[in-house]
Amino acid sequence: MSNAAHQIVTVDIGGTHARFAIATIAADGAITMDEPETLHTEDHTSFQTAWEDYRARKGGTLPDGVTMAIAGPVTGEVIRFTNNPWIIRPALVKSKLGVKRFTIVNDFEAVGHAVARAPEDQFVHLTGPDQPLAPTGRLSVLGPGTGLGVAHLYREPTGEYRVSATEGGHIDFAPLDQIEDAILARLRKRHNRVSVERVVAGPAISDIYQTLAALEGKPVTDEDDIAIWTRGQDGSDSLAAAAVDRFCLSLGSVAGDIALAQGGFGGVVIAGGLGYRLRDTLLTSGFAERFRAKGRFAELMGTIPVKLIVHPQPGLFGAAAAYAREHL
């Protein structure tokens, strides 16, 4: 680590938004950020034009290092996003953006770095024993947004850690009751294979809502998912509220499955903007019961602390941490 503070641009690019901030990495490794700027991906035809927009907003100049957290795989000569049409060619990043050094990580790899580095007061307890995340061993990290991000974090006894991004959001959805059977049947009309991301991600609330309406024989029109989320959480629509509760049940099931698959017995962390907005609902829903409902492993599941990271920008913070590990 250098003896001087270092400034970089940190970027978190999802399916709907690209968030930019200036991060300062202190000599002791502490990371601080200025107020992030949020750009809509649909307003820009490429990452470069979004970068130029941000640069103009910051007065025409930016630091000469950039770190990017990207919603999708980050290997290969061309990086494509899972839920937006932008592409990034790593070989051209320095020349296109005018930077000297860069880091590119998967968005949930970045969140894994944030989980590793964030202080205890940046986590809210959801279920399991009310204790800190394990200081060593494996943790599972997942978060619903435009898609469903999944990663795991391994903490060494030495204090070092390793983060691995995964595509766990694309495992098969496993319904547990008749309502989820109906949700699966609706989704299967459009998708031969239904992944958990089709049920546990922001846009999924529309299909959940439509399914519940059909089961109750209520006519509803196709609506923007944001409108359903809003009515489901402000108490103005009981059917939308039921859809939100159903979403939380499915999130609990998926979080438990991910922990079992990864061996995340040191702790599970829910991340993402949607998880943050659902923090109060998760505490009062059937999330905890579904997380534990793993048959012979229910007792084991009950020993896992499950937290919600409430850092306002874990993707930006974690991407900066990834840059510091690689370059400083």
Half-sphere exposure of residue 310: CA atoms within 13 angstroms, side-chain side: 13
DSSP codes, 213-243? HHHTT-------HHHHHHHHHHTS-HHHHHH
* CB of 153 closer than 8 Å to CB of 111: no
Tell me: is residue 14 an annotated ligand-binding position.
yes
Q: Hey, how many other C-beta atoms are within 10 angstroms of the C-beta on 36?
A: 17
Tell me: is residue 237 an annotated ligand-binding position.
no
Strand 17-25 and strand 6-13: the pairing is antiparallel
Tell me: is residue 15 an annotated ligand-binding position.
yes
* CB of 4 closer than 8 Å to CB of 60: no
56 sits in which H/E element: helix 47-57
Tell me: is residue 13 an annotated ligand-binding position.
yes
250 sits in which H/E element: helix 238-262
Tell me: is residue 16 an annotated ligand-binding position.
yes
CA 117 – CA 5 distance, rounded (Å): 18
Tell me: is residue 12 an annotated ligand-binding position.
yes
Written in H, E and C, the secondary structure of 276-325 is: HHCHHHHHHCCHHHHHHCCHHHHHHHCCCCEEEECCCCHHHHHHHHHHHH
* Residue matched to tokens 């609506």: 223
* Residue matched to tokens 């829903």: 285
Strand 87-88 and strand 79-80: the pairing is antiparallel
Residue 109's identity, in one-letter code, is E
* CB of 31 closer than 8 Å to CB of 320: yes
* CB of 16 closer than 8 Å to CB of 146: yes
Binding residues, as ranges, are: 11-16
Binding residues for ATP, as ranges, are: 11-16
